[in-house]
Structure 1
Amino acid sequence: MLHIQSVNQFYNQSHILWDLDLHLKEGTCGCLLGRNGVGKTTLLKCITGLLPIRQGQILLNGTDITRMSTENRARGGVGYVPQGREIFPLLTVEENLKISLGARPDRARQIPEQIYQLFPVLKEMKHRRGGDLSGGQQQQLAIGRALVLDPKLLILDEPTEGIQPNIVRDIGDVIRKLNNDMGLTVLLVEQKLPFARRVADDFFIMERGRVVADGPIGALSDELVQQYLTV
Protein backbone atom coordinates (compact mmCIF):
# COMPACT_ATOMS: atom_id res chain seq x y z
CA MET A 1 0.00 0.00 0.00
CA LEU A 2 2.60 2.54 1.17
CA HIS A 3 6.20 1.87 0.19
CA ILE A 4 8.92 4.24 1.35
CA GLN A 5 12.31 3.39 -0.10
CA SER A 6 15.70 4.85 0.86
CA VAL A 7 14.30 8.28 1.71
CA ASN A 8 16.73 11.03 2.71
CA GLN A 9 15.57 14.45 3.87
CA PHE A 10 17.46 17.54 5.00
CA TYR A 11 16.70 20.77 6.85
CA ASN A 12 19.30 23.07 5.30
CA GLN A 13 22.52 21.18 6.07
CA SER A 14 21.01 18.95 8.78
CA HIS A 15 20.40 15.37 7.64
CA ILE A 16 17.05 14.36 9.22
CA LEU A 17 15.96 11.12 7.49
CA TRP A 18 18.66 8.60 6.60
CA ASP A 19 17.94 5.96 3.90
CA LEU A 20 14.59 5.32 5.56
CA ASP A 21 12.54 2.30 4.47
CA LEU A 22 8.97 1.52 5.53
CA HIS A 23 6.24 -0.72 4.15
CA LEU A 24 2.65 -0.38 5.36
CA LYS A 25 0.21 -3.06 4.24
CA GLU A 26 -3.19 -2.17 2.84
CA GLY A 27 -6.06 -2.11 5.33
CA THR A 28 -3.81 -2.11 8.39
CA CYS A 29 -2.93 0.42 11.07
CA GLY A 30 0.76 1.12 11.50
CA CYS A 31 2.12 3.10 14.44
CA LEU A 32 5.31 5.17 14.28
CA LEU A 33 7.04 5.21 17.64
CA GLY A 34 10.16 6.93 18.88
CA ARG A 35 11.50 9.57 21.20
CA ASN A 36 11.03 13.26 20.42
CA GLY A 37 13.20 14.57 17.61
CA VAL A 38 13.86 11.31 15.76
CA GLY A 39 12.04 12.41 12.58
CA LYS A 40 8.51 11.03 12.93
CA THR A 41 6.61 14.20 12.02
CA THR A 42 9.18 14.97 9.32
CA LEU A 43 8.43 11.59 7.73
CA LEU A 44 4.68 12.26 7.78
CA LYS A 45 5.22 15.63 6.09
CA CYS A 46 7.36 13.96 3.43
CA ILE A 47 4.58 11.46 2.72
CA THR A 48 2.01 14.24 2.37
CA GLY A 49 4.29 16.42 0.25
CA LEU A 50 4.59 19.24 2.78
CA LEU A 51 8.35 18.66 2.82
CA PRO A 52 10.49 17.63 -0.17
CA ILE A 53 12.90 14.73 -0.01
CA ARG A 54 16.43 14.81 -1.35
CA GLN A 55 16.61 11.15 -2.37
CA GLY A 56 14.42 8.08 -2.37
CA GLN A 57 10.94 7.11 -3.49
CA ILE A 58 7.43 7.11 -2.03
CA LEU A 59 4.85 4.82 -3.63
CA LEU A 60 1.12 4.75 -2.89
CA ASN A 61 -0.66 1.71 -4.32
CA GLY A 62 2.16 1.36 -6.82
CA THR A 63 1.98 5.00 -7.98
CA ASP A 64 5.09 7.11 -7.51
CA ILE A 65 4.00 10.20 -5.55
CA THR A 66 7.53 11.36 -4.67
CA ARG A 67 7.36 14.60 -6.67
CA MET A 68 3.60 15.05 -6.60
CA SER A 69 2.16 18.22 -5.04
CA THR A 70 0.41 18.09 -1.67
CA GLU A 71 -2.91 18.89 -3.37
CA ASN A 72 -2.56 16.06 -5.86
CA ARG A 73 -1.58 13.64 -3.12
CA ALA A 74 -4.80 14.58 -1.31
CA ARG A 75 -6.78 14.00 -4.49
CA GLY A 76 -4.95 10.69 -4.90
CA GLY A 77 -6.10 9.46 -1.52
CA VAL A 78 -3.79 10.81 1.21
CA GLY A 79 -5.65 12.29 4.20
CA TYR A 80 -3.62 14.06 6.88
CA VAL A 81 -4.43 15.20 10.42
CA PRO A 82 -1.47 17.25 11.67
CA GLN A 83 -0.30 17.57 15.23
CA GLY A 84 -2.28 20.43 16.77
CA ARG A 85 -5.27 19.72 14.50
CA GLU A 86 -5.13 23.06 12.58
CA ILE A 87 -8.86 23.47 12.16
CA PHE A 88 -10.25 26.88 11.18
CA PRO A 89 -11.52 28.32 14.48
CA LEU A 90 -13.76 31.03 12.98
CA LEU A 91 -15.50 28.66 10.55
CA THR A 92 -18.36 26.43 11.64
CA VAL A 93 -17.93 22.69 12.00
CA GLU A 94 -19.85 22.21 8.75
CA GLU A 95 -17.70 24.76 6.92
CA ASN A 96 -14.52 23.09 8.17
CA LEU A 97 -15.74 19.77 6.81
CA LYS A 98 -16.82 21.23 3.46
CA ILE A 99 -13.32 22.57 2.81
CA SER A 100 -12.20 19.05 1.91
CA LEU A 101 -14.95 18.47 -0.64
CA GLY A 102 -12.98 20.30 -3.33
CA ALA A 103 -10.28 17.62 -3.26
CA ARG A 104 -12.62 14.65 -3.66
CA PRO A 105 -12.15 12.85 -6.98
CA ASP A 106 -15.92 12.41 -7.42
CA ARG A 107 -16.57 16.17 -6.93
CA ALA A 108 -19.25 15.47 -4.31
CA ARG A 109 -20.98 18.60 -2.97
CA GLN A 110 -22.35 17.21 0.29
CA ILE A 111 -20.57 16.01 3.43
CA PRO A 112 -20.84 12.21 3.49
CA GLU A 113 -23.33 11.06 6.13
CA GLN A 114 -20.74 8.51 7.23
CA ILE A 115 -18.72 11.34 8.85
CA TYR A 116 -21.60 12.19 11.15
CA GLN A 117 -22.18 8.51 11.89
CA LEU A 118 -18.57 8.13 13.01
CA PHE A 119 -18.62 11.38 14.99
CA PRO A 120 -22.21 12.19 16.08
CA VAL A 121 -21.04 15.23 18.04
CA LEU A 122 -20.07 16.92 14.77
CA LYS A 123 -23.65 16.72 13.56
CA GLU A 124 -24.94 18.09 16.84
CA MET A 125 -22.51 21.01 16.66
CA LYS A 126 -22.26 21.56 12.91
CA HIS A 127 -23.36 25.20 13.19
CA ARG A 128 -20.94 26.05 16.00
CA ARG A 129 -17.56 27.60 15.31
CA GLY A 130 -14.64 25.23 15.38
CA GLY A 131 -12.85 27.36 17.95
CA ASP A 132 -15.73 26.89 20.41
CA LEU A 133 -15.26 23.11 20.53
CA SER A 134 -13.26 21.30 23.18
CA GLY A 135 -9.85 19.90 22.29
CA GLY A 136 -11.25 16.42 21.88
CA GLN A 137 -14.10 17.63 19.70
CA GLN A 138 -11.65 19.60 17.56
CA GLN A 139 -9.62 16.43 17.08
CA GLN A 140 -12.72 14.60 15.92
CA LEU A 141 -13.41 17.49 13.55
CA ALA A 142 -9.87 17.32 12.16
CA ILE A 143 -10.20 13.57 11.56
CA GLY A 144 -13.64 14.03 10.01
CA ARG A 145 -12.28 16.73 7.70
CA ALA A 146 -9.58 14.34 6.49
CA LEU A 147 -12.13 11.57 5.98
CA VAL A 148 -14.31 13.83 3.81
CA LEU A 149 -11.59 13.37 1.17
CA ASP A 150 -12.49 9.67 1.00
CA PRO A 151 -8.80 8.80 1.49
CA LYS A 152 -7.07 5.50 0.87
CA LEU A 153 -4.44 6.36 3.48
CA LEU A 154 -5.21 8.30 6.67
CA ILE A 155 -2.20 9.83 8.46
CA LEU A 156 -2.58 10.96 12.07
CA ASP A 157 0.09 12.85 14.01
CA GLU A 158 -0.39 12.22 17.75
CA PRO A 159 -4.21 12.08 17.66
CA THR A 160 -4.52 11.58 21.44
CA GLU A 161 -2.32 14.49 22.52
CA GLY A 162 -4.12 16.62 25.12
CA ILE A 163 -7.39 14.72 24.66
CA GLN A 164 -9.69 13.62 27.48
CA PRO A 165 -9.77 9.83 28.07
CA ASN A 166 -13.35 9.23 26.88
CA ILE A 167 -12.64 10.84 23.49
CA VAL A 168 -9.31 8.97 23.25
CA ARG A 169 -11.36 5.79 23.56
CA ASP A 170 -13.83 6.98 20.91
CA ILE A 171 -11.01 7.86 18.50
CA GLY A 172 -9.52 4.41 19.01
CA ASP A 173 -12.90 2.84 18.23
CA VAL A 174 -13.14 4.88 15.02
CA ILE A 175 -9.65 3.84 13.89
CA ARG A 176 -10.45 0.17 14.41
CA LYS A 177 -13.77 0.59 12.58
CA LEU A 178 -12.03 2.28 9.66
CA ASN A 179 -9.57 -0.62 9.51
CA ASN A 180 -11.84 -3.56 10.12
CA ASP A 181 -15.09 -2.47 8.48
CA MET A 182 -13.96 -0.07 5.76
CA GLY A 183 -10.49 -1.34 4.84
CA LEU A 184 -8.87 2.07 5.30
CA THR A 185 -5.10 2.08 5.81
CA VAL A 186 -3.92 4.20 8.75
CA LEU A 187 -0.47 5.46 9.74
CA LEU A 188 -0.18 7.28 13.03
CA VAL A 189 2.43 8.75 15.32
CA GLU A 190 1.60 7.98 18.93
CA GLN A 191 3.30 8.39 22.30
CA LYS A 192 0.78 6.49 24.43
CA LEU A 193 1.77 2.83 24.31
CA PRO A 194 -1.57 1.47 25.59
CA PHE A 195 -3.38 3.28 22.76
CA ALA A 196 -0.83 2.09 20.21
CA ARG A 197 -1.17 -1.51 21.37
CA ARG A 198 -4.94 -1.25 21.18
CA VAL A 199 -5.34 0.19 17.68
CA ALA A 200 -2.21 -0.77 15.71
CA ASP A 201 -1.56 -3.92 13.74
CA ASP A 202 2.13 -3.14 13.21
CA PHE A 203 4.76 -0.85 14.74
CA PHE A 204 7.74 1.03 13.35
CA ILE A 205 10.31 2.41 15.79
CA MET A 206 12.40 5.34 14.61
CA GLU A 207 15.79 6.36 15.95
CA ARG A 208 18.02 9.08 14.46
CA GLY A 209 16.04 9.30 11.23
CA ARG A 210 15.83 5.58 10.52
CA VAL A 211 13.38 2.74 11.19
CA VAL A 212 15.40 0.55 13.53
CA ALA A 213 12.74 -2.00 14.50
CA ASP A 214 9.35 -3.06 13.17
CA GLY A 215 6.90 -5.90 13.26
CA PRO A 216 3.43 -6.91 14.46
CA ILE A 217 2.33 -4.93 17.50
CA GLY A 218 2.38 -8.08 19.63
CA ALA A 219 6.15 -8.23 19.11
CA LEU A 220 6.69 -4.81 20.72
CA SER A 221 8.67 -6.16 23.65
CA ASP A 222 9.66 -4.55 26.93
CA GLU A 223 13.25 -4.69 25.72
CA LEU A 224 12.44 -2.59 22.63
CA VAL A 225 10.46 -0.15 24.73
CA GLN A 226 13.35 0.21 27.17
CA GLN A 227 15.95 0.59 24.43
CA TYR A 228 14.18 3.02 22.11
CA LEU A 229 11.18 4.60 23.84
CA THR A 230 11.94 5.11 27.51
CA VAL A 231 13.01 8.66 28.33
Structure 2
Amino acid sequence: MLEVNAVNQFYGESHTLWDLSLSIPKGGCVCLMGRNGVGKTTLLKAVMGLLPIRSGQIEFDGQPVNSLSTEARACAGIGYVPQGREIFPMLTVEENLQISLGARKDRSRKIPDKIYQLFPVLKEMRHRRGGDLSGGQQQQLAIGRALVLEPKMLILDEPTEGIQPNIVREIGEVIRTLNQQEGLTVLLVEQKLPFARRVGSDFRLLDKGQLVAQGPMAELTDAVVKEYLSV
Protein backbone atom coordinates (compact mmCIF):
# COMPACT_ATOMS: atom_id res chain seq x y z
CA MET A 1 0.00 0.00 0.00
CA LEU A 2 2.76 2.46 0.99
CA GLU A 3 6.38 2.07 -0.13
CA VAL A 4 9.15 4.36 1.10
CA ASN A 5 12.36 3.72 -0.81
CA ALA A 6 15.78 5.16 0.14
CA VAL A 7 14.34 8.47 1.32
CA ASN A 8 16.67 11.20 2.55
CA GLN A 9 15.34 14.34 4.18
CA PHE A 10 17.09 17.38 5.63
CA TYR A 11 16.16 20.27 7.91
CA GLY A 12 18.66 22.82 6.68
CA GLU A 13 21.98 21.04 7.10
CA SER A 14 20.59 18.51 9.57
CA HIS A 15 20.15 15.08 7.97
CA THR A 16 16.94 13.67 9.50
CA LEU A 17 15.99 10.63 7.38
CA TRP A 18 18.88 8.45 6.20
CA ASP A 19 18.20 6.23 3.14
CA LEU A 20 15.00 5.19 4.87
CA SER A 21 13.07 2.32 3.30
CA LEU A 22 9.97 0.69 4.71
CA SER A 23 6.73 -0.85 3.53
CA ILE A 24 3.19 -0.63 4.93
CA PRO A 25 1.10 -3.57 3.67
CA LYS A 26 -2.48 -3.21 2.53
CA GLY A 27 -4.84 -3.98 5.39
CA GLY A 28 -2.16 -3.69 8.06
CA CYS A 29 -2.22 -1.61 11.23
CA VAL A 30 1.39 -0.57 11.64
CA CYS A 31 2.78 1.35 14.61
CA LEU A 32 5.73 3.59 13.81
CA MET A 33 7.77 3.77 17.00
CA GLY A 34 10.95 5.26 18.41
CA ARG A 35 12.20 7.82 20.90
CA ASN A 36 11.50 11.52 20.45
CA GLY A 37 13.42 13.16 17.63
CA VAL A 38 14.21 10.05 15.56
CA GLY A 39 12.21 11.14 12.50
CA LYS A 40 8.72 9.67 12.96
CA THR A 41 6.72 12.87 12.41
CA THR A 42 9.16 13.93 9.70
CA LEU A 43 8.43 10.71 7.82
CA LEU A 44 4.67 11.19 8.05
CA LYS A 45 4.95 14.77 6.81
CA ALA A 46 7.17 13.61 3.95
CA VAL A 47 4.60 10.99 2.99
CA MET A 48 1.91 13.69 2.96
CA GLY A 49 4.04 16.12 0.97
CA LEU A 50 4.21 18.61 3.82
CA LEU A 51 8.00 18.35 3.85
CA PRO A 52 10.19 17.95 0.76
CA ILE A 53 12.58 15.02 0.47
CA ARG A 54 16.11 15.36 -0.91
CA SER A 55 16.12 11.97 -2.64
CA GLY A 56 14.30 8.66 -2.77
CA GLN A 57 10.84 7.55 -3.82
CA ILE A 58 7.47 7.38 -2.09
CA GLU A 59 4.74 5.26 -3.68
CA PHE A 60 1.13 4.89 -2.61
CA ASP A 61 -1.19 2.23 -3.96
CA GLY A 62 1.34 1.43 -6.69
CA GLN A 63 1.77 5.02 -7.89
CA PRO A 64 4.67 7.44 -7.23
CA VAL A 65 3.54 10.50 -5.28
CA ASN A 66 6.76 12.54 -5.03
CA SER A 67 5.46 15.16 -7.45
CA LEU A 68 1.96 15.35 -5.97
CA SER A 69 0.74 18.13 -3.68
CA THR A 70 -0.60 17.39 -0.23
CA GLU A 71 -4.13 17.91 -1.54
CA ALA A 72 -3.56 15.50 -4.41
CA ARG A 73 -2.25 12.87 -1.99
CA ALA A 74 -5.40 13.27 0.08
CA CYS A 75 -7.50 12.87 -3.06
CA ALA A 76 -5.51 9.72 -3.87
CA GLY A 77 -6.78 8.20 -0.64
CA ILE A 78 -4.49 9.16 2.25
CA GLY A 79 -6.25 10.47 5.35
CA TYR A 80 -3.94 12.32 7.74
CA VAL A 81 -4.45 13.22 11.40
CA PRO A 82 -1.55 15.47 12.43
CA GLN A 83 0.04 15.71 15.83
CA GLY A 84 -1.79 18.38 17.82
CA ARG A 85 -5.01 17.77 15.84
CA GLU A 86 -4.99 21.16 14.02
CA ILE A 87 -8.74 21.54 13.86
CA PHE A 88 -10.25 24.94 13.10
CA PRO A 89 -11.32 26.25 16.53
CA MET A 90 -13.66 28.97 15.27
CA LEU A 91 -15.55 26.66 12.90
CA THR A 92 -18.28 24.35 14.09
CA VAL A 93 -17.77 20.61 14.29
CA GLU A 94 -19.89 20.20 11.18
CA GLU A 95 -17.91 22.85 9.29
CA ASN A 96 -14.63 21.18 10.27
CA LEU A 97 -15.91 17.92 8.81
CA GLN A 98 -17.24 19.58 5.67
CA ILE A 99 -13.77 20.92 4.83
CA SER A 100 -12.69 17.43 3.78
CA LEU A 101 -15.60 16.96 1.39
CA GLY A 102 -13.74 18.88 -1.30
CA ALA A 103 -11.12 16.12 -1.52
CA ARG A 104 -13.63 13.32 -2.09
CA LYS A 105 -13.44 11.73 -5.52
CA ASP A 106 -17.22 11.39 -5.77
CA ARG A 107 -17.67 15.11 -4.97
CA SER A 108 -20.33 14.25 -2.40
CA ARG A 109 -21.36 17.23 -0.29
CA LYS A 110 -22.74 15.10 2.53
CA ILE A 111 -20.81 14.06 5.62
CA PRO A 112 -20.89 10.23 5.66
CA ASP A 113 -23.23 8.80 8.29
CA LYS A 114 -20.40 6.53 9.41
CA ILE A 115 -18.55 9.46 10.98
CA TYR A 116 -21.35 10.12 13.43
CA GLN A 117 -21.80 6.39 14.05
CA LEU A 118 -18.14 6.04 15.00
CA PHE A 119 -18.13 9.24 17.07
CA PRO A 120 -21.66 9.95 18.38
CA VAL A 121 -20.38 12.93 20.38
CA LEU A 122 -19.62 14.74 17.11
CA LYS A 123 -23.25 14.49 16.08
CA GLU A 124 -24.36 15.79 19.46
CA MET A 125 -21.96 18.73 19.21
CA ARG A 126 -22.05 19.34 15.46
CA HIS A 127 -23.18 22.96 15.90
CA ARG A 128 -20.59 23.80 18.58
CA ARG A 129 -17.28 25.42 17.72
CA GLY A 130 -14.31 23.08 17.54
CA GLY A 131 -12.42 25.17 20.05
CA ASP A 132 -15.12 24.52 22.66
CA LEU A 133 -14.53 20.76 22.61
CA SER A 134 -12.30 18.93 25.07
CA GLY A 135 -8.94 17.66 23.88
CA GLY A 136 -10.27 14.15 23.43
CA GLN A 137 -13.30 15.36 21.51
CA GLN A 138 -11.05 17.46 19.28
CA GLN A 139 -9.00 14.37 18.54
CA GLN A 140 -12.16 12.50 17.59
CA LEU A 141 -13.05 15.43 15.33
CA ALA A 142 -9.61 15.34 13.69
CA ILE A 143 -9.97 11.61 13.02
CA GLY A 144 -13.51 12.10 11.74
CA ARG A 145 -12.33 14.86 9.41
CA ALA A 146 -9.75 12.49 7.89
CA LEU A 147 -12.34 9.73 7.54
CA VAL A 148 -14.73 12.00 5.62
CA LEU A 149 -12.47 11.32 2.64
CA GLU A 150 -13.22 7.59 2.96
CA PRO A 151 -9.46 7.04 2.59
CA LYS A 152 -7.62 3.90 1.56
CA MET A 153 -5.06 4.53 4.30
CA LEU A 154 -5.32 6.46 7.57
CA ILE A 155 -2.20 8.06 9.05
CA LEU A 156 -2.31 9.21 12.67
CA ASP A 157 0.45 11.06 14.51
CA GLU A 158 0.25 10.29 18.25
CA PRO A 159 -3.55 10.05 18.46
CA THR A 160 -3.53 9.41 22.22
CA GLU A 161 -1.28 12.33 23.21
CA GLY A 162 -2.86 14.35 26.03
CA ILE A 163 -6.16 12.45 25.83
CA GLN A 164 -8.17 11.23 28.81
CA PRO A 165 -8.13 7.42 29.27
CA ASN A 166 -11.78 6.77 28.40
CA ILE A 167 -11.43 8.49 25.01
CA VAL A 168 -8.10 6.71 24.42
CA ARG A 169 -10.03 3.45 24.74
CA GLU A 170 -12.72 4.70 22.36
CA ILE A 171 -10.15 5.78 19.78
CA GLY A 172 -8.44 2.40 20.07
CA GLU A 173 -11.71 0.60 19.41
CA VAL A 174 -12.44 2.81 16.40
CA ILE A 175 -9.00 2.08 14.92
CA ARG A 176 -9.45 -1.66 15.50
CA THR A 177 -12.92 -1.59 13.91
CA LEU A 178 -11.75 0.33 10.86
CA ASN A 179 -8.75 -1.94 10.39
CA GLN A 180 -10.09 -5.37 11.27
CA GLN A 181 -13.70 -5.10 10.11
CA GLU A 182 -13.43 -2.65 7.21
CA GLY A 183 -9.89 -3.46 6.05
CA LEU A 184 -8.62 0.13 6.28
CA THR A 185 -4.83 0.32 6.22
CA VAL A 186 -3.54 2.25 9.24
CA LEU A 187 -0.15 3.79 10.01
CA LEU A 188 0.18 5.46 13.38
CA VAL A 189 2.93 6.99 15.46
CA GLU A 190 2.37 5.93 19.05
CA GLN A 191 4.43 6.33 22.22
CA LYS A 192 2.13 4.42 24.57
CA LEU A 193 3.33 0.83 24.39
CA PRO A 194 0.15 -0.83 25.78
CA PHE A 195 -1.98 1.04 23.23
CA ALA A 196 0.38 0.11 20.39
CA ARG A 197 0.33 -3.55 21.37
CA ARG A 198 -3.47 -3.51 21.60
CA VAL A 199 -4.26 -1.96 18.23
CA GLY A 200 -1.21 -2.70 16.08
CA SER A 201 -0.64 -5.74 13.90
CA ASP A 202 2.97 -4.80 13.14
CA PHE A 203 5.65 -2.33 14.17
CA ARG A 204 8.37 -0.30 12.47
CA LEU A 205 11.03 1.11 14.75
CA LEU A 206 13.15 4.14 13.87
CA ASP A 207 16.39 5.34 15.41
CA LYS A 208 18.35 8.34 14.15
CA GLY A 209 16.32 8.48 10.95
CA GLN A 210 16.83 4.84 10.05
CA LEU A 211 14.74 1.69 10.28
CA VAL A 212 16.33 -0.51 12.95
CA ALA A 213 13.64 -3.14 13.66
CA GLN A 214 10.33 -4.31 12.24
CA GLY A 215 7.95 -7.22 12.34
CA PRO A 216 4.69 -8.48 13.81
CA MET A 217 3.75 -6.79 17.07
CA ALA A 218 4.31 -10.09 18.91
CA GLU A 219 8.01 -9.79 18.04
CA LEU A 220 8.40 -6.44 19.82
CA THR A 221 10.37 -8.00 22.64
CA ASP A 222 11.40 -6.48 25.96
CA ALA A 223 14.99 -6.41 24.71
CA VAL A 224 14.02 -4.33 21.66
CA VAL A 225 11.91 -2.03 23.83
CA LYS A 226 14.80 -1.51 26.23
CA GLU A 227 17.29 -0.77 23.46
CA TYR A 228 15.22 1.60 21.34
CA LEU A 229 12.23 2.85 23.35
CA SER A 230 13.23 3.12 27.01
CA VAL A 231 14.31 6.53 28.26
Distance 2:205 2:180 in 1: 24
- 1:12 is displaced (CA, Å) by 1.1
Distance 2:192 2:179 in 1: 20
Distance 2:16 2:67 in 1: 19
Distance 2:149 2:185 in 1: 14
Q: 1:192: which partner in 2?
A: 192
- 1:180 is displaced (CA, Å) by 1.1
* Secondary structure of 1:80's aligned partner: strand
Q: 1:83: which partner in 2?
A: 83
Distance 1:108 1:124 in 2: 22
Q: 1:123: which partner in 2?
A: 123
Matched AA of 1:74 = A
Q: 2:17: which partner in 1?
A: 17
Distance 1:217 1:61 in 2: 23
Q: What is the root-mean-square deviation in Å for CA atoms of aligned residues? A: 0.5
Q: 1:203: which partner in 2?
A: 203
Q: 1:20-46 CA distances to partner (integer Å, 9 max, x unpaired)? A: 011111111100110000000000000
Distance 2:11 2:33 in 1: 21
Moved over 6 A (4+): none
Q: 1:35-76 CA distances to partner (integer Å, 9 max, x unpaired)? A: 000000000000000001111111111000112110100000
Q: 1:90-120 CA distances to partner (integer Å, 9 max, x unpaired)? A: 1000000000000001000000000000000
Identity percentage of aligned residues: 71
Q: 1:34: which partner in 2?
A: 34
Gaps in structure 2 of 5+ consecutive residues: none
TM-score (norm 1): 0.99
Matched AA of 1:162 = G
Distance 2:63 2:52 in 1: 17
Of 191-200 and 60-69, the range deviating more from structure 2: 60-69
Distance 1:11 1:67 in 2: 19
Is 2:51 aligned against 1:58? no
Q: 1:146: which partner in 2?
A: 146
- 1:144 is displaced (CA, Å) by 0.1
Distance 1:28 1:113 in 2: 25
* Secondary structure of 2:32's aligned partner: strand
Q: How many positions carry a matched residue from both structures?
A: 231
Is 2:111 aligned against 1:104? no
- 1:199 is displaced (CA, Å) by 0.3
Q: 2:175: which partner in 1?
A: 175
Matched AA of 1:213 = A
